[in-house]
């Protein structure tokens, strides 16, 4: 549908109220959703309450992650992390954006045996961090600025980006399911 051809108002299929078209989110296919934003959010909340099992699982996963993080091998100093940030020009290693808060992202997830060493950490924005989670098939870009301005990739020192991708691929194949594992 052509955006300009949109009607000003639309009927919400849930609350049956006629609302301004802007009150309906895009359906991602060039049109609009048939339920208004308010009903959409309500549905989401109801869904969350109707599946406490999923919530418990999410909480358990989070707990397992915190435990893993404490037990994970290796470590780094704040200075090393700051240098790392600088190497990436304070940009997200995945999408390259610099206008968002950056968090420490484990290239090889702790759940897959990754360490807390600086070589396994890259800056990532919250949304890339959330998107990647424990996935191994999403590899970060090399830093846009190398440690001495050479533009040379500095992660990890032992393998180039292709080697890293291959390693990640192998790890991904060896992992049967994305479910959290309780090791130890």
Interface with Zn ion by CB under 5 A: which residues?
A: 12, 14-15, 36, 39, 92, 94-95, 125, 128
Cβ contact 131:138 at 8 Å? yes
Residues with Cβ within 8 Å of 8's Cβ and at least 6 positions away in sequence, in order, are 20, 21
Residue 24 Cβ vs Zn ion, minimum distance, rounded to whole Å: 9
Of 60 and 133, nearer to Zn ion (C-beta) is 133
Residue 21 Cβ vs Zn ion, minimum distance, rounded to whole Å: 13
Of 128 and 168, nearer to Zn ion (C-beta) is 128
Cα-based distances in Å from 117 to 49, 63, 144: 39, 21, 21
Residue 109 Cβ vs Zn ion, minimum distance, rounded to whole Å: 17
Closest CA to 182 of 96, 67, 103: 67
* Residue 173 to residue 169: CA distance in whole angstroms: 6
Residue 44 Cβ vs Zn ion, minimum distance, rounded to whole Å: 13
Range list of H helices, the chain: 37-50, 52-71, 78-87, 126-132, 161-174
Of 39 and 110, nearer to Zn ion (C-beta) is 39
- Residue in the structure block whose two tokens are 């989670």: 133
Of 126 and 166, nearer to Zn ion (C-beta) is 126
Supply the DSSP symbol for 142. Answer: P
Of 133 and 166, nearer to Zn ion (C-beta) is 133
Residue 105 Cβ vs Zn ion, minimum distance, rounded to whole Å: 9
């Amino acid at each position: 549908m052509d955006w300009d051809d949109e009607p000003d108002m639309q009927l919400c299929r849930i609350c049956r109220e006629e609302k301004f078209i802007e009150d309906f989110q895009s359906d991602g296919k060039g049109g609009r959703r048939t339920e208004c934003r308010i009903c959409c959010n309500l549905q989401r909340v109801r869904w969350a309450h109707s599946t406490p099992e999923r919530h418990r699982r999410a909480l358990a996963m989070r707990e397992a992650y915190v435990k893993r993080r404490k037990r994970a091998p290796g470590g780094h100093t704040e200075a090393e992390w700051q240098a790392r940030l600088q190497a990436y020009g304070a940009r997200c290693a995945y999408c390259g954006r610099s206008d968002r808060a950056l968090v420490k992202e484990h290239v090889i997830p702790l759940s897959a045996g990754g360490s807390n060493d600086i070589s396994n950490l890259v800056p990532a924005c919250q949304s890339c961090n959330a998107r990647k989670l424990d996935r191994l098939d999403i590899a970060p870009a090399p830093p846009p600025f190398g440690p001495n301005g050479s533009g040379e990739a500095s992660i990890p020192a032992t393998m180039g980006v292709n080697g890293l991708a291959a390693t990640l691929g192998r790890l991904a194949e060896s992992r049967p399911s994305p479910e959290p594992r309780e090791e130890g």
